Amino acid sequence: MPAIDEGLARLALANGTVLRGRSFGARRTVVGELVFNTAMTGYQEVVTDPSYRGQIVLMTAPQIGNVGWNRGDLESTTAHAAGFVVRELSPTVSNWRSEVGLHEALLAAGVPGISGVDTRTLTRLLREEGSLGAVLSPVPVSDCSDEELVAAARRWGGMEGRDLVSEVTCPAPYTWEESSLRMPGEPAAASFGPPGALGHAVVYDFGVKHAILRQLCDVGFRVTVVPARTPPDEVLACRPDGVVLSNGPGDPAALPWAVQSTQVLLAKGVPLLGICLGHQILSLALGGRTYKLKFGHHGINHPVKDLRTGRVEITSQNHGFSVDFASLHGVAVLTHLNLNDNTVEGLALPGRPVLSLQYHPEASPGPRDAGHLFCRFARLVRGEALDGEGG
């Protein structure tokens, strides 16, 4: 394993704050939106989630890196977070599945990291001021002053109006056949049969996580993934039994072409499942509005209430925008509510096989409270009416 370069790194924020720490990962300067993630596990899934494109991720857990890095937990083929901020980088890796350390993985992916900074204070700052433009840089002060880094952070254009989906989507359609990994003795996921038994699911890749594709296979779908700008007539030519609008990065309002494609599919009556960004795109297609959250939802401990059952689930989330439910009054039914801030977490269309979720039912790394929602979508595809959905 390559030695960690403990040279100086700086994190400069648009509000003028500059912090010094130790460099790890790639030695390059990046700019992006600084956001905090409250997960205590799953940093590998975070770094490789395409939804983090353009963002510098701050982990609130005090030590990161102790379980290393392995190919089985990748959520895409590469890292997507622009940079990584931790309080302490673990000096040892102790998990039996680890193949390389976090430093080595980020070095290979070109992602810079900084350790030794006060992440607690940074998190409080972001909660008070909101997500901020930031620059993470290992460049010596003699080459670039603090003031120059702050100026670069202030020049960063922000997330609103940015189409980042075009940077992360697949270049061509492909078939996905891999089911979820289960540990010895772990029971199989609820299923309607082997992949293909339930029918054909076509997934629009707005930045899809591998775990979503695995869960679709788990419940019995044959899965085809298509690029984000695939015309809806080409999707319909695949004869899908259901279409999934995946998660992804950036501002949903910057994707009018995705909204238009979704409107065509809605008009054709195709069963639809929207997840995260896909949920927002579906809402826009129904005539709704979205807005930027102050600091977003990033973590694996967000309580969400299912308004149909009264059940509260702890969910995995990663998004900076939300749906204005008032803009969908009389069009959609609110099915899930965030108990931290009362934002929209799920929608359904009465009498139609359409549902959407702001959070991530596939979780990865967890928790798995909401995994049953893939079965709910499967039952809609089968034509079963569920609590006002489908029929």
Distance CA 291, CA 126 (A): 18
Nearest to 326 by CA among 282, 288, 365, 367: 288
Q: What are the residue ranges spanned by the domains of the chain?
A: 8-155, 165-381
Give start and end residues of each alpha helix (H) in the chain. Answer: 43-47, 102-109, 119-129, 146-155, 165-168, 210-219, 232-237, 256-268, 277-285, 372-381
- CATH 3.90.1150.10 applies to domain 165-381: no
Task: Check if 8-155 and 165-381 are the same fold.
Answer: no
Catalytic residue among 45, 313, 362, 389: 362
Tens digits of pLDDT across the chain (391 residues): 455 656 999 999 999 999 999 999 999 999 999 999 999 999 999 999 999 999 999 999 999 999 999 999 999 999 999 999 999 999 999 999 999 999 999 999 999 999 999 999 999 999 999 999 999 999 998 899 999 999 999 999 999 999 999 999 999 999 999 988 665 555 555 677 777 788 999 999 999 999 999 999 999 999 999 999 999 999 999 999 999 999 999 999 999 999 999 999 999 999 999 999 999 999 999 999 999 999 999 999 999 999 999 999 999 999 999 999 999 999 999 999 999 999 999 999 999 999 999 999 998 888 888 888 999 999 999 988 665 444 3
Catalytic residue among 103, 104, 217, 276: 276
- 276 catalytic per annotation: yes
Nearest to 249 by CA among 47, 37, 81, 50: 50
- 372 catalytic per annotation: no
Catalytic residue among 103, 336, 360, 389: 360
- 144 catalytic per annotation: no
Span 8-155: which CATH code? 3.50.30.20
What's the one-letter identity of residue 350? P
DSSP 289-301: EEEEEEEEEEEEE
pLDDT of residue 21: 97
